[in-house]
Amino acid sequence: MSYLEAFNKSKSNANEFWLEEAKRLSWYKLPTKGYVEGEDGSSNWFSDGKLNMSYLCIDKHIEDGHGDQIAVIYDSAVRQKQVKYTFHELHEKVSKLAGGLQKLGVQKGDTVVIYMPMISHALFSMLACARIGAIHSVVFGGFAPDELASRIDDAKPKVIITASSGIEVDRLIAYKPMVDEAIEKANHKPEKVVIFNRKLGVETQQKNYDVDYEQLMHESESVEAIPVKADHPLYILYTSGTTGTPKGVVRDTGGYATALHFSMRTIYDAKPGEVFWAASDVGWVVGHSYIVYAPLLNRNTTIIYEGKPVRTPDAGSFWRVIQDHKVNVMFTAPTAFRAIKKEDPNGELVKKYDISSLKYQFLAGERCDAATLRWAEKMLQIPVIDHWWQTESGWPIVANFMGMEKFPVKEGSAGKSVPGYHVQVLGEHGEVLPKGEEGYLAIQKPLPPGFMPILWNAPERTKAAYYERFENYYFSGDGGYIDVDGYVYVTGRIDDVINVAGHRLSTAQLEEVVASHEAVAECAVIGMEDSLKGQLPLAFVVAKVGEEGYESYRLETEVVQLVRDIVGPVASLKTVLLVKRLPKTRSGKILRRTIRKIVDGKDYAIPSTIEEPMVISELIEALSIAKVGAFAKDKNTVVNSLKALTDSYYNIDSLAKYIDV
């Protein structure tokens, strides 16, 4: 089937198309029903089918005679250690842990929070939950106790699974104390905390709810996979909301398995038995979909990499992994390639390794700039494919199709709509815009299998966040356009969620933390463009009356540390500017979009609703002195920024002092 045939069939008869795809999996009860929209607005697929994700990822391959194939490779660059597990060994680890969870009282439908570093046991824990129908919620290990506590309160886990520590290049990160602090802060109290002791020298305080992972495994029996309905939740994955309150994205089981299996064949062209490496973290949607579930569903060897693209030990670490494990298909974020390019611009380290096994390099997580794409193509000499998707979608929305019909790569585009996704560009009133015209990227219903059915315990929020703006469409929150050839261009978020190296962070949440500092009266956090991480948060702070003399360097240091303590290092806030006031409308709304354009050195227009235009010039002065954003690179940025201001309100002569800056 060609791409066009597949796309048209998925659009004209979605049920027939996806029920046929579902037959490629081994079900306990094959579904006969396709798409059904629930009364609460949820999107449900294959509701009369029964299956088990853990069975599909492990037992099925053993039954088919592939038990001795390597299923999982743990590669720790920071510990210089590698461990390989066959499907037989994976079965033993997962089925005994599943039995251990049952012994602790975990039943089908209960929730389990997993807060672990990038180790094999994180994957074992996810599959063990799936095996007994428990709903797992993996929380990224970089999140601080406050963030973990908010997720505990929302998911209400019966058990938490964690490790004694994570390990970075230069330090150990004690996980267990953070879990203890989160439990103390949370209203909901889990019954047990299972701790995998990595024996790296981190001392932890024993609590009465603690259970030793290895002892639990030793005392437990293996259990068989439990059949669950296709619409049974597999996991909850929290993503930043624009209100600052995390949104619990629910993923079903049957639709997700069908979609992931389809994507491995058509998009990634990963053949069963090949090695597939997603260089991400299991705490993110990429880790859920393409470290754990999709590769194992497709009988690929998957890699859990504990390290970074650089400094573990150098910018050749990715190429070393590809050489060591004969990786066939790789997936990472553009920011990883930007980091490698920064340290090894001429690709000298690439030449040191044999990476001839690599067929394709996929990029996602944030928009891939043309320079990074060209550099990767030059260094790797293979197809480098950008593609676009979201936590909510769970698998690609827009892509190029290595296993179906390869299209020429267009710089700036993530490819074409994946079969199952009818992507449209809409105007303010929901009208479909002509080709080439920029607007709001939305997906027409029915949404395909694997797509988020609903937010956890929040049907009204689901509707308000995604479906209220445009009737019969899912609104992605991104802007973009589609060209005459059907290529989709994603131009960026239209809300105030920023993307730091592929990690979505809510500016509302960051502002709440910054504002909690005793000297801060009000603040604004925006995402400024960064050549390495895509975006970095930048905080503007107005001091309280009586605190105006607060030393700016001291304030910056304290605010940065505060954000690090509460949100975590993942926030990457490093710059805090002390200003007299913030530009606002007369109704009191801070002009964040205008601020963002000024910081990035882009053309801007001052809204007619602005309360005091002169505040803009004060902002430009502060950016110029601090040499932040575009003001660190181009001396003409000041003049250009002020010119935009004078076009609206002033004679340029009245702002001469700012030009001198």
Question: Position of tokens 């609104």?
Answer: 475
Q: How do 275-278 and 81-86 pair as beta strands? A: unpaired
pTM, entire model: 0.84
Range with top average pLDDT, 249-258, 521-530, 629-638 = 249-258
Hey, is 306 helix, strand or coil?
Answer: strand
For 97-101, 155-159, 374-378, 639-643, which range has the lowest pLDDT when averaged over its residues? 639-643
Q: pLDDT tens digit string along 390-409? A: 999 999 999 999 999 899 99
Find the range with the poorest average confidence among 44-53, 373-382, 497-506, 622-631: 497-506
Mean pLDDT of 585-603: 81
- As a whole-number percent, the residues of the chain with pLDDT over 70 amount to 93
Answer for the pair 120, 83: CB distance below 8 angstroms, yes or no.
yes
- Residue 301 neighbours by CB distance under 10 Å: 24
Query: Model confidence at 243, in pLDDT bands (50, 70, 90)?
Result: low
Question: Which of the four pLDDT bands, split at 50, 70 and 90, describes residue 661?
Answer: very low
Give the model's confidence band at 634: pLDDT under 50 very low, under 70 low, under 90 confident, else very high.
low
Question: What is the per-residue pLDDT across 429-445, written as a single tens digit (0 to 9) for each?
Answer: 999 999 999 899 999 99
In this predicted structure, what is the pLDDT of residue 371?
A: 81
- For residue 419, pLDDT over 80 is answered with yes
387, 399 contact by CB (below 8 A): yes
Which residues have C-beta within 8 Å of that of residue 59, sequence separation ≥ 6?
91, 225
Distance CA 558, CA 553 (A): 9
Least-confidence region, from 67-71, 115-119, 504-508: 504-508
Q: Decide the pairing of beta strands 50-51 and 43-45.
A: unpaired
Higher per-residue confidence, 86 vs 531: 86
Would you say residue 646 has pLDDT above 70?
A: no
